[in-house]
Chain A
Amino acid sequence: MSAFTAIGEDREIDREEFTPTLEPQATWCPGCGDFGVLKALKQSMPEIGRNPDEVLLVTGIGCSGKLNSYFESYGYHSIHGRSLPIARAAKLANPDLEVIAAGGDGDGYGIGGNHFMHTARENHDMTYIVFNNEIFGLTKGQTSPTSPKGHKSKTQPHGSAKDPIRPLSLALTSGASYVARTAAVNPNQAKEILTEAMQHDGFAHVDFLTQCPTWNKDARQYVPYIDVNDNDDYDFDPTDKGDAERMATEAERSLYEGEVLTGRFYVDSERPSYQEEKQAIGEMPEEPLAERYFDDDYEWERTHDMFLDRHK
């Protein structure tokens, strides 16, 4: 018998199962774009048929990290910028889990930038949602890696001298096999994209535009947005990396000029996930490693029998 019977349970999932029974401490401000992520995430769960016991949601620190308090599942509210390494190891340990990592633009593109690059490169089969509101919210409004050049804040009183990070292009160049951008103000597209991202077999990066009405009052609410997959002005093939790079660059440039381009920018269903690559070279077991610890019949090898001859 499986040790993890919650996994693959065959029943209809109700999105309300993901609403905590305990009232979370109110931490998101009224009108926060993060509610849009929460809603889309909850809505996509029945679509992919996952129940709260088979989902591991790993977050970093910041407003985005509070997602765990609003979302009922196995949760790991970790440390600033480190959601990805925790999430990807959990996935390697038990690939049957639905592993989602989430963080903010500071968390994901700043302090965790290195992990972002490497997780994308390795193409771990997981979904990474970055709440991008172009500001540090929880620490009260400092400039973030995605704040526009010239953005003034208490820590950048003369305006930021830095160009913002280009997350879509960075994900693409690093090797992410699914790259999309959506916005909290567009719940239908957000739900569709998150569903697709979770169904995607590989590293799915979703740059999720979330408005911050408290600290980024100047910021647009990301409307009107344009869905590049559903607009005749943008004729491109998201399975073509060259097209994807061109469109990502365009979307990132235009965002700061007031034109919000969203949609799927790159979808590569051919590229094997890291797990598949690792299994192919014999560096990862076919059965989930975690299962083995619950299998009373498994015979654990001893170094005395396996390795000691080399030392005689």
Chain B
Amino acid sequence: MTDHELMWRIAGGSGDGIASTSQNFAKALMRAGLHVFTHRHYPSRIRGGHTYTEVRADSEPVRSRGDGFNCLLALGDSFARNPQEDAYYGNEEVKPLAENLDELNEGGVIVYDTGLLDVDEIPNFEERVEENDWHVYPLNLREIARDHGREVMRNTAGVGATAALLGIDLQYFEELMAEAMPEEILEPNVEILHYTHDMVKEEFEFTHDLRVPEGSHDEEQVLLSGSDTIAYGAIDEGCRFIAGYPMTPWTEVFTIMSQALPELGGISEQVEDEIAAAALALGASHAGVKAMSGSSGGGFALMSEPLGLAEMSETPVVLVEAMRAGPSTGLPTKPEQADLEHVLYTSQGDSNRVVLAPGTVAEAYEQSRLAFQLAYGYNIPVVLLYDQKLGGELMNVPASHFDREPNADLGAVTTEEELEEAPHGPGGKFHRYRYDAEDGVSPRSIPGQKGGHFLVTGNEHNQAGHIDEDPTNRVTQMERRMSKLDGIREFLDGQSTQTYMGPDEAEYGLVTFGSQQGTVREAVERLNDAGHSVKGIGVSDMMPYPEAEMTEFLESVDEAVVVEMNASGQFRGLTQKELGRFGGKLSSLLKYNGEPFEPAEIVAGFEASIDGEDVPDQQTTYVPAAGD
């Protein structure tokens, strides 16, 4: 983070093109040599309602949203007023401006569309501008767009205006527009972009000093979301079958895969419900294809029976779970990390699955690949757990990060040659679930292979797959299945899946999992800059739990704060359960209002915790250590 970083927020109504405009804005800045990170906020509503996206850009790497923001482009919500229901919608029209002022930093820049927004409707607007030293540039973007093209192009006018104010070269926008737009709409858009840019330069005296920072990349960058990287990781690992049912925010991965798979000769199926979706993934996997399914909280709940079947039958499958705030349908478009326990323990019987939780956009690619390696290498279901924040945020990653060999290895399967030699029971029956399997992994055969037919069943079964309730067989099979987790633990220990932050030696620790990793990293840096002695760890393995690594980390610090987006401290609970100690060392910093942490909230929460004071921000909660 540098002092002159840009935190640009575009606000408007859902359906007004806020997402695509901000995506282009971020990409333009990335092409201009900057590091970028986006943060999305949107309501569970298709058109209208307040939505915004922040683009944070810096010459240094950025891995998190910032604290507040310093440049607002308020476009107006074209769907705000329903003429038939004036009374109900009230002054929703000014939301894109009014709703964002609280988080606009001192000295910030405001560009707003006078064609759709009336500052007279905002209480004390002038006073607040003066108090906060905001620099306001009113522009009739709607009219400009209408005069030079069509009204919907006012986003382009807004971009042209902020580009002028921030000193961003228009060529990056022009190139992006040329790549994406057909000729007939490209022309007016380019005209609007230039017209607004030049007009702002000519007509306004710039009173602000915020300018886009300069930067250059050492190598070519790509702008991707967590949903992109999860999908790409799956594809590079040879996944060619996906089945799903739409549900926010999992739909993003499903959509990306559905568009990519036909190009790759793969298959995507949108089916009747989530039980079917997971069952389809099992069926395809059983038939010899690398397959995945997934959902979000409520949909994943429906998948618990196929998940259990995958465990018992040892059918490899990857299920992704994109968390949103719950319980039940909760906050459909807002992030939370409260499905951890749901994913760890859902389905009947002893849990015998792998749960991975990537922490960043780049890491989600690796963890997605890892998920398939583990699922197919060990014939076990793997859940890839992430949240709405990670799924939807965009971040630049070096293109070379993805320059790796594909891997379509089907893992623990037999060939027909091996089947001839394989252990067979009485009558030549293939022993699919042999007791003496190495690491607990008994290779499977694929339907159609000669000499390999066997029975899969969700009931306890013997070596040949037949239903068997003999107590000795039960214990042997249970122990074999459970022992796979030990082998996986050993495999993961060599993969450096946990992320360490800050100095090797420190007095305090910050512990987190999943999407808060980038924000915690920034907090660790800031705390050390401020003279504290803090190190951090972002944990990616939820099951099997990284016992050795976490023990070492927690032994090395006096106290540790676990940062997570839920109300009950689920990850802290898991840590205490798995390690059976450290209860007196672990406190929690929690946030569950539907928004991810800002770095300053973690800094403030940490400082308050070591001073024994209350956390200053009402939106976060500090829960002190309670003992074992």
Give the interface of A toward B (CB within 8 A): 3-7, 9, 20-22, 24-25, 52-54, 56, 58, 61, 68-69, 72-79, 82, 84-94, 96-97, 114-115, 117-118, 278, 282-285, 289-290, 292-294, 298, 300-304, 306-308, 311-312
For B60, list chain A residues within 8 Å (CB).
none
CB pair B282–A89 under 8 Å, yes or no, is yes
CB pair A290–B287 under 8 Å, yes or no, is yes
CB pair A293–B402 under 8 Å, yes or no, is no
A-B pairs, 6 with minimum CB distance: A21-B427, A89-B283, A4-B448, A290-B288, A93-B287, A85-B279
CB pair B456–A300 under 8 Å, yes or no, is no
Q: A78-B309, A289-B240 are in contact. Are A3 and B449 (CB under 8 A)?
A: yes
For B454, list chain A residues within 8 Å (CB).
74-75
Flag whether B10 is at the interface (Cβ < 8 A). Answer: no
CB pair B238–A300 under 8 Å, yes or no, is yes
Q: How far is the CA of A285 from the CA of B268 in the complex (A)?
A: 11
Flag whether B185 is at the interface (Cβ < 8 A). Answer: no
For A302, list chain B residues within 8 Å (CB).
236, 402, 404-406
Q: A53-B448, A82-B279, A284-B267 are in contact. Are A93 and B408 (CB under 8 A)?
A: no
For A75, list chain B residues within 8 Å (CB).
453-457, 465
Q: Can you name 5 extra interface pairs (CB under 8 A) apart from A24-B466, A78-B279?
A: A58-B283, A290-B448, A292-B265, A306-B263, A312-B222
Q: Which of A82, A96, A311 contacts B228 (CB under 8 A)?
A: A311
For A282, list chain B residues within 8 Å (CB).
262
A11 CB to nearest chain B CB (Å): 12
CB pair A76–B271 under 8 Å, yes or no, is no
A122 CB to nearest chain B CB (Å): 9
For B404, list chain A residues within 8 Å (CB).
302, 304
Q: A93-B287, A289-B289 are in contact. Are A21 and B429 (CB under 8 A)?
A: yes
CB pair B450–A72 under 8 Å, yes or no, is no
| Interface flags, B245-288, vs A, CB<8A=1, else 0 | 00000000000000010111111110111011101111110111
Closest residue to A80 on the B side, CB-wise?
A: B305
Q: A89-B243, A89-B283, A94-B288 are in contact. Are A115 and B450 (CB under 8 A)?
A: no
For A72, list chain B residues within 8 Å (CB).
453
CB pair B284–A90 under 8 Å, yes or no, is yes
Flag whether B167 is at the interface (Cβ < 8 A). Answer: no
For A5, list chain B residues within 8 Å (CB).
416, 449-450
Q: Which of B262, B275, B448 contacts A96 (CB under 8 A)?
A: B448
Q: Which of B264, B268, B464 contacts A301 (CB under 8 A)?
A: B264
For B453, list chain A residues within 8 Å (CB).
52-53, 72-75
Q: Which of A58, A84, A93 contacts B284 (CB under 8 A)?
A: A93
Q: A22-B426, A304-B404 are in contact. Are A53 and B451 (CB under 8 A)?
A: yes
Q: Which of A54, A85, A294 contacts B271 (CB under 8 A)?
A: A85
B471 CB to nearest chain A CB (Å): 15
Q: How far is the CA of A311 from the CA of B406 in the complex (A)?
A: 19
Q: How far is the CA of A204 from the CA of B399 in the complex (A)?
A: 49
Q: Which of B220, B290, B456, B458 contacts A312 (CB under 8 A)?
A: B220
Q: Which of B240, B264, B281, B399 contacts A308 (CB under 8 A)?
A: B399
B443 CB to nearest chain A CB (Å): 14
Would you mind naming 24 contact pairs between A and B with Cβ atoms under 8 Å apart?
Answer: A4-B449, A53-B451, A53-B452, A58-B283, A69-B466, A75-B454, A79-B306, A89-B279, A92-B284, A93-B241, A114-B272, A114-B276, A115-B272, A282-B262, A289-B284, A292-B408, A294-B288, A300-B407, A301-B264, A302-B405, A306-B263, A306-B264, A308-B402, A312-B223
Q: How far is the CA of A79 from the CA of B145 in the complex (A)?
A: 58
Q: A76-B286, A303-B402 are in contact. Are A22 and B448 (CB under 8 A)?
A: no
For B240, list chain A residues within 8 Å (CB).
289, 292
For A73, list chain B residues within 8 Å (CB).
453
Interface-centre pick from B273, B407, B450 (highest chain A CB count, 10 A): B450
CB pair B456–A311 under 8 Å, yes or no, is no
Give the interface of B toward A (CB within 8 A): 31, 220-224, 228, 232, 235-236, 238, 240-241, 243, 260, 262-269, 271-273, 275-277, 279-284, 286-291, 305-306, 308-309, 313, 399, 402-408, 410, 415-416, 425-429, 446-459, 464-467
Q: How far is the CA of A282 from the CA of B263 in the complex (A)?
A: 8
Number of A-B contacts defined by CB within 8 Å: 234
Q: Which of A6, A22, A76, A84 contacts B429 (CB under 8 A)?
A: A22
Q: Which of B241, B287, B290 contacts A56 (CB under 8 A)?
A: B287
Q: How far is the CA of A308 from the CA of B235 in the complex (A)?
A: 13
For A293, list chain B residues within 8 Å (CB).
238, 288-290, 408, 410
B204 CB to nearest chain A CB (Å): 33
Closest residue to A284 on the B side, CB-wise?
A: B267
Q: How far is the CA of A7 from the CA of B402 in the complex (A)?
A: 38
Q: A22-B429, A85-B271, A300-B408 are in contact. Are A68 and B457 (CB under 8 A)?
A: yes
For A78, list chain B residues within 8 Å (CB).
279, 282, 309, 456, 458
CB pair B266–A289 under 8 Å, yes or no, is yes
A306 CB to nearest chain B CB (Å): 7
Q: How far is the CA of A45 from the CA of B204 in the complex (A)?
A: 84
Q: Which of B269, B448, B467 contacts A7 (CB under 8 A)?
A: B448
Q: How far is the CA of A294 from the CA of B402 in the complex (A)?
A: 25
Q: Which of B280, B406, B458 contacts A300 (CB under 8 A)?
A: B406
For A86, list chain B residues within 8 Å (CB).
279-280, 282-283, 286
Q: How far is the CA of A6 from the CA of B290 in the complex (A)?
A: 21
Q: A53-B449, A69-B455, A283-B262 are in contact. Are A85 and B425 (CB under 8 A)?
A: no
CB pair A56–B236 under 8 Å, yes or no, is no
CB pair B428–A89 under 8 Å, yes or no, is no
For B243, list chain A residues within 8 Å (CB).
85, 89
Q: How far is the CA of A75 from the CA of B427 in the complex (A)?
A: 17
CB pair A307–B289 under 8 Å, yes or no, is no
CB pair A285–B309 under 8 Å, yes or no, is no
Q: Which of A21, A77, A92, A308 contacts B428 (CB under 8 A)?
A: A21
Q: How far is the CA of A68 from the CA of B405 in the complex (A)?
A: 41
CB pair B232–A307 under 8 Å, yes or no, is yes
For B446, list chain A residues within 8 Å (CB).
3-4, 290
Q: Which of B31, B260, B271, B287 contacts A118 (CB under 8 A)?
A: B271
For B232, list chain A residues within 8 Å (CB).
303, 307
Q: Which of B235, B276, B282, B458 contacts A77 (CB under 8 A)?
A: B458
